[in-house]
């Protein structure tokens, strides 16, 4: 990572019309339909953005969008990069640095996760209150990191308290169950063993997934207020574990999507 690389990408996007964005949104599984609520002004495939990670097959549909949502100028990442696809932690988080350099002052992230806390049910939503990084590395572990922010980035409150408070109030108003919990990030792409689910519970995780934490660490590095919501797509009970059913996970995420959209739109309105 160099300032020059970041400047090239930022200048390219500004020239394409990504002017004065206020909010960045990362759409994970279960929030893709939010783009249907966006008045899109510019749309660029990741493959056409200089210095964005080189795409894999899955990424043919990955796009960066710019437009208006609830009266705010937003940048939306439609599709994210995962560690399990073979990218580095620095590559995965490069778009967050780009969004911050373009001017966003908050970042909203969504993902799909498995419920470790078995009082949380399939289809419920969980606001990330804290996280455990089990991805075996840091997106800040590179030589010139201090040129971009504090190397020893503080993590005592990784998720913005003010945004979280607003989000909980929006959930309440709309009668949407929004748990608050700890998200553990693993590399994947294999699912967890029964022993791993037991371990995740013991160490204090309420949910497990394969994303989000790298983006949140970089947002903290950049002093960019961040919030994240998980849709809990499956219940990870080690004493009654069934083989993973990916189509079902995607279906559950899809069913919960209207709730996610209500929360995200509500928050964007209030930022």
Stretch binding ligand HPA (CB under 6 A), from 72-80, 214-222, 231-239, 254-262? 231-239
Q: Residues of 8-47 as b/e, b for ≥16 C-beta within 10 angstroms? A: ebbebbeebebeebbbbbbbbbbbbebbeebeeeebbebe
* Binders in 124-153 for ligand HPA, by CB under 6 A: none
Q: Where are the beta strands (DSSP E) in 8-105?
A: 23-27, 39-45, 63-69, 72-78
Phi, psi of 190 (to 5 degrees): -65, 150
| Nearest-approach distance from CB 235 to ligand HPA, in angstroms | 9
Which residue has 């960045």 as its token pair?
24
Stretch binding ligand HPA (CB under 6 A), from 12-20, 49-57, 123-131, 187-195? 187-195
Those residues with Cβ within 8 angstroms of residue 261's Cβ, 6 or more apart along the chain or in another chain = 31, 33, 34, 37
Among 30, 114, 139, 158, binds ligand HPA (CB under 6 A): 114
Query: Does 208 contact ligand HPA by CB under 6 A?
Result: yes
In the complex with ligand HPA, the residue whose CB is nearer, 84 or 142, is 84
Contact call for residues 20 and 37 (beta carbons, < 8 A): no
Q: DSSP assignment, residue 243? A: P
Contact call for residues 260 and 229 (beta carbons, < 8 A): yes
Among 234, 259, 267, 268, binds ligand HPA (CB under 6 A): 234
Query: Does 214 contact ligand HPA by CB under 6 A?
Result: no
End-to-end CA distance of the chain: 30
Query: Does 206 contact ligand HPA by CB under 6 A?
Result: no
* Binders in 61-100 for ligand HPA, by CB under 6 A: none
| Nearest-approach distance from CB 233 to ligand HPA, in angstroms | 5
CA 92/CA 187 separation, integer angstroms: 12
State both tokens at 265.
């739109």
In the complex with ligand HPA, the residue whose CB is nearer, 8 or 237, is 237
Those residues with Cβ within 8 angstroms of residue 137's Cβ, 6 or more apart along the chain or in another chain = 89
In the complex with ligand HPA, the residue whose CB is nearer, 66 or 197, is 197
Query: Does 229 contact ligand HPA by CB under 6 A?
Result: no
Query: Does 236 contact ligand HPA by CB under 6 A?
Result: yes
| Nearest-approach distance from CB 120 to ligand HPA, in angstroms | 12
Stretch binding ligand HPA (CB under 6 A), from 30-38, 173-181, 218-226, 232-240? 232-240
Among 96, 249, 260, 261, binds ligand HPA (CB under 6 A): 249
Residues that bind ligand HPA (CB under 6 A): 112-114, 188, 191-192, 208-210, 233-234, 236, 249
């Amino acid at each position: 990572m160099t300032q020059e690389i970041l400047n090239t990408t930022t200048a390219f996007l500004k020239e394409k019309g990504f002017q004065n964005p206020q909010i960045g949104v990362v759409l994970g599984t279960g929030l893709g339909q939010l783009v249907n609520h966006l008045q899109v002004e510019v749309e660029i495939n990741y493959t056409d953005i200089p210095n964005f990670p080189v795409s894999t097959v899955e990424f043919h549909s990955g796009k960066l969008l710019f437009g208006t949502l609830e009266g705010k100028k937003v940048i939306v990442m439609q599709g994210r990069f995962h560690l399990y696809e073979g990218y580095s932690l620095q590559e995965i988080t490069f778009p967050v640095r780009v969004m911050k350099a373009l001017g966003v002052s908050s970042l909203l992230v969504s993902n799909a996760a498995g419920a470790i806390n078995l009082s949380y049910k399939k289809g419920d939503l969980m606001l990330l209150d804290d996280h455990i990084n089990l991805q075996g590395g840091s997106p800040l572990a590179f030589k010139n990191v201090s040129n971009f922010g504090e190397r020893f980035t503080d993590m005592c409150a990784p998720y913005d308290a003010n945004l979280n408070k607003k989000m909980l109030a929006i959930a309440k108003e709309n009668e949407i169950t929004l748990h608050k919990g700890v998200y553990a990030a693993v590399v994947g792409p294999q699912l967890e063993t029964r022993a791993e689910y037991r371990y995740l519970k013991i160490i204090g995780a309420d949910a497990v997934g394969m994303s989000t934490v790298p983006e949140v660490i970089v947002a903290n590095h950049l002093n960019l207020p961040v919030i994240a919501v998980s849709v809990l797509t499956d219940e990870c009970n080690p004493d009654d574990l069934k083989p993973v059913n990916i189509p079902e996970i995607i279906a559950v995420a899809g069913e919960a999507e209207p709730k996610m959209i209500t929360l995200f739109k509500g928050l964007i309105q209030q930022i």
